[in-house]
Amino acid sequence: MRVNLSHGAGGKATQDMVQKLILSLLDEDMKRVEGGVGTDELDDGATLPAGENHLVMSVDSYTVNPPFFPGGNLGVLAASGTINDVLMMGAKPVAAMDSIIVQEGFELEELKKITSSMIQVFRENGVKLVGGDFKVMPFGDLRGVVITTVGVGWAEKPILDSSLKPGDKLLVTGTVGDHGAAILAAQQGIEGVESDVKPLTQVMLPLLEEFGDQIRAAQDPTRGGLAQVLNEWASKTGLLITVREESIPIAEEVKALSELLGVDPLQLASEGKAVLGVSPEVSEDVLNFLKERGCDRASIIGEVKESSKYRGMVILETKVGGLRVMERPLGAVVPRIC
């Protein structure tokens, strides 16, 4: 067996690879620092206890191709993704580190545009770039640029996706699949689709302050899209997740591209949206809160249920009233997407 693209796509193949290469080698006492969150949760980040608070950390690598795309570039993506992962853990981002690996011969001006964009996003969101690394690979050993980032933040109480309960409502903060569709379109030479890449600081921090413990789960639907997020949550909790297709906001250009190329928009990445699990008592309040802050396409898309027959599954109610299982992606829908 050899490593292939599907192993890095964020779906079932990635999950199986992580289990085989990493998790199977860890004893239980290696998976977390006492009082913190670690690989036993496999959430958007990990935490270390720090007095009454938690130090939240997240790490990710960004390999998007092309590095410049409609709506953003690799630098904007790396900074936004780093900030969003920390936010999804219920933390305020405060610092970041980066590691940049570039191929020999890459245009210096293009690399400067990428790093300038990354630093600008960090600056606008109050995140300090406190350290990093820079390396060059011989021509042919690497294509383009790879940026790895570590994000750090503080949380009073981390959000853990495994905290979802029966009755909780599921929301998205806007249209899904925009980033994946934009990268796919760029790779195919098709115009008219723009990435949604952006930090969610201005939405998530006020939301956390207003609703606190009523937010049970939060994740940005990157690799594998909405389908991957919901399947992860169902698997972690052993609960049934039901979703209404007609309630899921998808931009018309994303629908059109998906139909043209035969891909499922629910498996395409978003880089500027969040999926939230919230207490049913505040779901409408959260929805209104989001819309008041510019999330015009925010929507309640489903709920969490107890079911002995459909434990750990995601069921989609189609627009025509039928039911089908929403599977997590098996392979790479779009390679080098983020």
Encode pLDDT of 214-253 as tens digits.
999 999 999 999 999 999 999 999 999 999 999 999 999 9
Q: Give residue 337's pLDDT.
A: 76
List the domain range (segments joined by +) for residue 171: 161-325
Residue 284 and residue 232 share a domain: yes
The residue among 185, 19, 200 whose CA lies nearest residue 124 is 200
pLDDT > 80? residue 330: no
CA dist 1 and 21 (Å) reads 13
Q: Give residue 6's pLDDT.
A: 76
Q: Give residue 3's pLDDT.
A: 84
Residue 119 and residue 230 share a domain: no
Residue 178 and residue 122 share a domain: no
Domain count, the chain: 2
CA dist 87 and 100 (Å) reads 23
Mean pLDDT along residues 117-122: 98
Specify if 8 maps to a domain. no
CATH code of residue 139: 3.30.1330.10
Q: Return the higher-pLDDT residue of 282 and 42.
A: 282
Residue 293 and residue 234 share a domain: yes
Ranges of beta strands (E only) in 164-270 are 169-172, 215-219, 240-244
CA dist 140 and 162 (Å) reads 43
Q: Decide which of 155, 190, 220 is a domain's last residue.
A: 155
Q: Give residue 22's pLDDT.
A: 87
Q: Give residue 291's pLDDT.
A: 98
What pLDDT digit, counting tens, does each position of 57-105 carry?
Answer: 999 999 999 999 999 999 999 999 999 999 999 999 999 999 999 999 9
Residue 123 and residue 95 share a domain: yes
CA dist 200 and 223 (Å) reads 17
Q: Give residue 88's pLDDT.
A: 97
What pLDDT digit, counting tens, does each position of 274-322 carry?
Answer: 999 999 999 999 999 999 999 999 999 999 999 999 999 999 999 999 9
Residue 182 and residue 312 share a domain: yes
Residue 146 and residue 51 share a domain: yes
- According to DSSP, the residues that pair with 131 across neighbouring strands are 97
Q: Give residue 332's pLDDT.
A: 64
Specify if 190 maps to a domain. yes
Q: Give residue 172's pLDDT.
A: 98
pLDDT > 80? residue 13: no
Helix axes 108-124, 74-88, angle to 10 degrees: 30
Residues 10/212/37/121 CA torsion (nearest 10 deg): 50
pLDDT band at 146 (very low <50, low <70, confident <90, very high): very high
Residues 6+ apart with CB under 8 A from 230: 170, 241, 243, 275, 302, 314, 326
Residue 267 and residue 309 share a domain: yes
Mean pLDDT along residues 4-9: 76
pLDDT above 70 as % of the chain: 99
The residue among 93, 95, 87 whose CA lies nearest residue 220 is 87
Q: Decide which of 140, 155, 170 is a domain's last residue.
A: 155
Specify if 98 maps to a domain. yes
Residue 135 and residue 194 share a domain: no
CA dist 277 and 282 (Å) reads 11
CA dist 271 and 198 (Å) reads 7
Q: Decide which of 89, 121, 155 is a domain's last residue.
A: 155
Q: Give residue 331's pLDDT.
A: 66
Specify if 55 maps to a domain. yes
Specify if 35 maps to a domain. yes
Specify if 143 maps to a domain. yes
Residue 250 and residue 114 share a domain: no
pLDDT > 90? residue 23: no
Residue 275 and residue 141 share a domain: no
Specify if 330 maps to a domain. no
Mean pLDDT along residues 157-180: 97
CATH code of residue 202: 3.90.650.10
Residue 320 and residue 290 share a domain: yes
Please tell me the pTM assigned to this model. Answer: 0.94
Specify if 334 maps to a domain. no
